[in-house]
Amino acid sequence: MKKLSRYTKLEPIDRIKRTNEFLSLFSGTEKDPDDTNKISSKEKCELYGIEVKPYNKLFNAYYMEEPRLYGGNNKKIYSKDRTFPALIKCDMTKWVCFYEKSYHHDAESLYYNLNKASKAFELKIAEPQWIELEDNSSVKDWTDIANDYFDKNKSDYYFAVFLLGKNDNIYIELKKNSLCNKGYVSQIVKVKSLKKKGVMSVCSKILLQINAKLGGISYKIIHDKIIQNRKFMIIGVYSSHIKGKGTGVGMVATINDSFSNFFNKETIIKEENNRELFIYSINNFIENAIKAYKEENKELPKNIIIYRQGVSLQQKEYLKTEAQQINFLFKSKSLLYYYILVNTKTNFKFFEKAYNSFEKPSSGLLVIDGVTNRNFFEFYIQPQEVEEGTAIPTCFHVAFGDLNFPELIPKITYDLCHIYSNWQGIISVPNVIKVAEKLSKMTIKYTNLELNENLEKGQVYL
């Protein structure tokens, strides 16, 4: 892969050079000896009225300031930091570890390495309650033993770690059982991941994931006062389609001011093109999300931003009925909103002009003109930096709404790319989209069931 990346992950100057070399083929004057018409590529283009030439227009773009991130002990966090005290800690003081007899030493190793990794984040881990299963236990054995244990100990133990060997079917059934049927929080660890180099890095990621599932927060953004005072609720909608299984629609909404706690819902649409069910699901979710926000904050949100991935600008007409229903709901509650389409599969790559060369743009690049459609409110952001090649920017198109705070939207969007609990660093989309994607794909790939009502809040599906 590293050798292949020399050809697939080109630096800006190489990409521009190769593109221009390709475009020059259309203006060649040499005649192809194998062509029966004996005409050059330039003559062919002229014959069909085609003109192809490099587009070297320069335009101005902007850089947004990196948000102020703070972890525990009021420690300032930077996007490249990997270890820091967690802001809100959910210590693993009461948990249970299930494993098969032949993986006894791996279970002990997992506990040892989690305990070692926890010190950097200032999390506390007590020794778990150990539950040993016979080797080659069936799926039913795993679920029955887990269910029996939690039925007897639900008031004392609320979190389970399952250490699995080779059987992926057990993984799927345990996910379905814990998240949908019984409603307890779980983490599934495969033995092979503990055999890799860099096991401490693996355990650090597992630890942060567990902390997030239990309701902890690694760090938060200190938003500008103008954003704090607007009382935003941010919604993410993501659709995953698998042929023969249908479409899993993941929907999440932030219910706290740091945009790190979520109200969740998912819908499985098995009938093809069932627009009515899709529209009803989103409207019903938004109404319940507003109630959840009020329960958490003792007041309604004032402004709402909906990020929707999976629909292109060309399909905007397709969304009009959905937007009308949402608009009616918000008008009835006197709420202002923006409905934003998110597209990560754009055709653009941006390069920064530097003297006589081109460089990769840094994180926080904002493009609001030059290549955007002047008839709409849209912009491009490149939130992340890449070590190899050039990053693909994300396009944000404000399709509907009356929020009237256009100057805040790019900044909020960029800020949200910094606070995804499952990754230490910047991601290419707002956290609500990534969380909704995780929920959507988990639903359609594994569970094919809705989350247990005990788990409607939080991020138990990470």
Give me the mean pLDDT over the 81-101 stretch: 88
pLDDT tens digits, 405-445: 888 899 999 999 999 988 878 999 999 999 999 999 888 87
Answer whether residue 157 shows pLDDT above 70.
Answer: no
Q: How far lies 429's CA from each of 398, 419, 423, in Å?
A: 15, 10, 12
Question: Which has more confidence, 327 or 155?
Answer: 327
Stated length of the chain: 462
Residues in Cβ contact with 162 at an 8 Å cutoff, skipping those fewer than 6 apart: 97, 98, 99, 142, 146, 170, 174, 186, 187, 188, 189
Residues in Cβ contact with 60 at an 8 Å cutoff, skipping those fewer than 6 apart: 369, 370
260 neighbors 217 (Cβ within 8 angstroms): yes
Answer whether residue 317 shows pLDDT above 80.
Answer: no
pLDDT tens digits, 129-151: 999 999 989 999 999 999 998 88
| Residue 292 confidence (pLDDT) | 94
The values of phi and psi at residue 377, to 5°, are -90, 100
Give me the mean pLDDT over the 373-393 stretch: 88
Give me the mean pLDDT over the 225-239 stretch: 86
Percent of the chain predicted with pLDDT > 90: 37
Angle separating helix axes 199-213 and 104-121, nearest 10 degrees: 70
140 neighbors 224 (Cβ within 8 angstroms): no
Q: What stretch(es) of the chain map to CATH 3.40.50.2300? A: 89-213
Q: What stretch(es) of the chain map to CATH 3.30.420.10? A: 224-455
| Residue 414 confidence (pLDDT) | 95
Answer whether residue 233 shows pLDDT above 70.
Answer: yes
Which two structure tokens, joined as six digits, stand for 129?
């309650």
**Nearest to residue 325, comparing CAs of 358, 356, 282?**
282
- Kindly indicate the confidence band of residue 313, based on its pLDDT and cuts at 50, 70 and 90: low
Tracing tokens 């007590």 back to the chain, one arrives at 126
Question: Which has more confidence, 277 or 433?
Answer: 433
* Identity of the highest mean pLDDT range in 48-52, 98-102, 191-195: 98-102
| Residue 262 confidence (pLDDT) | 94
The class (CATH top level) of 89-213 is alpha beta
442 neighbors 268 (Cβ within 8 angstroms): no
pLDDT tens digits, 102-132: 999 999 999 999 999 999 999 999 999 999 9
The full 3-state SS of the chain, as one line of letters, equals CCCCHHHHCCCHHHHHHHHHHHHHHHHCCCECCCCCCCCEHHHHHHHCCCCCCCCCCCCCCEECCCCCEECHHHCEECCCCCCCCCCECCCECCCEEEEEHHHHHHHHHHHHHHHHHHHHHCCCECCCEEEEECCCCCHHHHHHHHHHHHHHHCCCCCEEEEEECCCHHHHHHHHHHHHHHHCCEEEEEEHHHHCCCCHHHHHHHHHHHHHHHCCCECCEECCCHHHHCCCEEEEEEEEEEECCCEEEEEEEEECCCCCCCEEEEEEEECCCCCHHHHHHHHHHHHHHHHHHHHHHHCCCCCEEEEEEECCCHHHHHHHHHHHHHHHHHHHHCCCEEEEEEEECCCCCCCCEEECCEEECCCCCEEECCCCCCCCCEEEEEECCCCCCCCCCCEEEEEEEECCCCCCCHHHHHHHHCCCCCCCCCCCCCCHHHHHHHHHHHHHHHHHCCCCCHHHCECCCCC
| Residue 58 confidence (pLDDT) | 86
Answer whether residue 289 shows pLDDT above 90.
Answer: yes
Burial class (CB in 10 A: 0-12, 13-18, 19+), 5: exposed
251 neighbors 262 (Cβ within 8 angstroms): no
The values of phi and psi at residue 275, to 5°, are -65, -35
What is the CATH number that goes with domain 224-455? 3.30.420.10
| Residue 417 confidence (pLDDT) | 94
| Residue 245 confidence (pLDDT) | 74
Which two structure tokens, joined as six digits, stand for 304?
């709402």
Give me the mean pLDDT over the 449-453 stretch: 85
Which two structure tokens, joined as six digits, stand for 424?
């230490």
| Residue 432 confidence (pLDDT) | 96
Answer whether residue 336 shows pLDDT above 80.
Answer: yes
Percent of the chain predicted with pLDDT > 70: 96
Question: Left (φ > 0), alpha (ψ -120 to 50) or beta: where does 3 sit?
Answer: alpha
* Identity of the highest mean pLDDT range in 18-32, 151-165, 373-387: 373-387
How far apart CA 25 and CA 41 sit, in angstroms, is 7
What is the number of other CB atoms lying within 10 angstroms of the CB of residue 166?
A: 9
Answer whether residue 294 shows pLDDT above 90.
Answer: yes
Answer whether residue 155 shows pLDDT above 70.
Answer: no
The pTM score is 0.90
Among the ranges given (187-201, 261-275, 365-379), the one the predictor scored with the smallest mean pLDDT = 261-275
